Amino acid sequence: MVTLDKIVRLANEGQFDSSGPKIYDLNNIDMQKVKTLGEGTKHDICASTASKRQVADVSGRIGDVVKAGVCHAFTPDGRCVGMFKTLFTNACQHECKYCPNATLSHRPKIQKYTPEELAKLTLMLYRGNYVEGLFLSSGIAGNEDQTMEDMIESVRLLREKYSFQGYIHMKVLPGASYEHIKQASELVDRVSINIETPSKSYMSELSSTKDYDNDILQRQKYIRHNIGKGRFPAGQTTQFIVGAAQETDKEIFKSMLNEYEEMEVKRSYFSAFNSVKGTELENTPSQPQWRENKLYQVDWLHRIYKFQNKEIEHAFDEDGFLFNKDPKLSIALNIIDSSIDPNEATQEQLLRIPGIGPKSAYGILKLRKRERIWKNEQLARIGVVTKRARYFLKLNGWEYSSLEDWS
């Protein structure tokens, strides 16, 4: 794993570009710039690794990114790639109250790459085998057209001048033009624009300058219109900041559904609000990590398990917030009214049992063609988490009579 600190150290030691002729004078790299612009992306999530962790550890942090510098993403062909993660500039004309780049924040010294600098820096990391791609985000210096042009020029240089074949995820700036989005579609693999909140009114609480409908939703429609025929092959994604306004989890969930259905986003990411010193919201309490984790779990139930929306409703309390427990369990306690015999159940029924995922549900269907299922050990061997599933199962006519262990 290469971190931002390591990138800076490698550059300082002249160890970047061991695999070919030097294309950049390392003495000219401003290390403080590399560091500031790398650190400026730490709240941007590009990591599809979230989904893997979700299966493995439902109680741990999900959707996390490694420290600023490098993040990971899965390409459309399933490869996991490490990407150099940076801002183009940390200057921004907007006044988003949670953001350290906003005009009203006490931001660090304004830094900005030139397109040539950024292209060469990325290329050197790529050639040194430290990264396989670029995740490029930015504030808006001056206006969105100028910054979009600079970002597009950076990736154009990479693709056309330096024949860079690596994966590129580029953030589209709020208010970016249709023409710039179209140009980006021919150069980058994945694109995203952060929706941040579930509604226009919440956005107006967080930013006096960003127009929810025009700067964000309209740009997502432009992106959607440009996906296909080799353009944006990895589609578009989005990100919610959780709890910066007073929005409920249910409102985020509904907005997420709209993002999948209406905007055709491939993934929604969630970032629990973290108050940053020097921003307008520095005294607003940070949100607990578990809130972000539960939203990822609900997203997983929707996308992978194909739960109905009315089933997922059971995961929310009466105020619209998720409980700090496994949402699949909350749902199961509401919708499963009698023990289920794995020899008889449909795949859909099996998937609703805590401890049984898509792979183990499929395993049960295969297993019961060969033998009758009558004990937990048979299920454990094919990946069922029996200490969770057994309370909902009837095996050999026997069932757990109490769900007390869950409370």
SS3 216: helix
Q: Given the rule CB under 6 A, which of 7-15, 55-63, 90-98, 360-368 is the region that contacts ligand SF4?
A: 90-98
Rule CB under 6 A: is residue 94 a binding residue for ligand SF4?
A: yes
Tokens at 280, concatenated: 């307008």
* Amino acid, res. 118: L
Nearer to ligand SF4 by Cβ, of 97 and 328: the residue is: 97
- Minimal distance in Å, beta carbon 257 to ligand SF4? 24
Binding mask 117-146 toward ligand SF4 (x if CB under 6 A, else -) reads ----------------------xx------
Which position among 54, 101, 220, 297 is part of the footprint of ligand SF4 (CB under 6 A)? 101
Nearer to ligand SF4 by Cβ, of 104 and 227: the residue is: 104
The answer to whether the CB of 173 falls within 8 A of the CB of 216 is no
Q: Given the rule CB under 6 A, which of 16-24, 96-104, 306-314, 399-407 is the region that contacts ligand SF4?
A: 96-104
The answer to whether the CB of 63 falls within 8 A of the CB of 50 is yes
Residues that contact ligand SF4, how many (by CB under 6 A): 9
Tokens at 216, concatenated: 């964000």
- Minimal distance in Å, beta carbon 292 to ligand SF4? 18
Q: Is 13 exposed, middle or buried (0-12, 13-18, 19+ CB in 10 A)?
A: exposed
Which position among 46, 65, 70, 102 is part of the footprint of ligand SF4 (CB under 6 A)? 102
Binding mask 60-89 toward ligand SF4 (x if CB under 6 A, else -) reads ------------------------------
SS3 238: strand
Nearer to ligand SF4 by Cβ, of 68 and 379: the residue is: 68
Nearer to ligand SF4 by Cβ, of 15 and 143: the residue is: 143
Distance CA 403, CA 407 (A): 7
Nearer to ligand SF4 by Cβ, of 193 and 234: the residue is: 193
Distance CA 203, CA 197 (A): 6
- Minimal distance in Å, beta carbon 139 to ligand SF4? 4
Distance CA 344, CA 323 (A): 31
Please give the C-alpha separations between residue 16 and each of 3, 29, 386, in angstroms, as whole numbers.
Answer: 13, 12, 49
SS3 186: coil
Rule CB under 6 A: is residue 96 a binding residue for ligand SF4?
A: yes
Distance CA 300, CA 232 (A): 23
Provide the β-strand partners of residue 136: 86, 170
- CA nearest to 29, candidates 118, 157, 128, 125: 118
**Backbone Cα Rg of the chain:** 23
Binding mask 143-182 toward ligand SF4 (x if CB under 6 A, else -) reads -------------------------------x--------
Nearer to ligand SF4 by Cβ, of 183 and 197: the residue is: 197
Distance CA 275, CA 287 (A): 9
Which position among 11, 58, 68, 99 is part of the footprint of ligand SF4 (CB under 6 A)? 99
Enumerate binding residues for ligand SF4 (CB under 6 A): 92, 94, 96, 99, 101-102, 139-140, 174
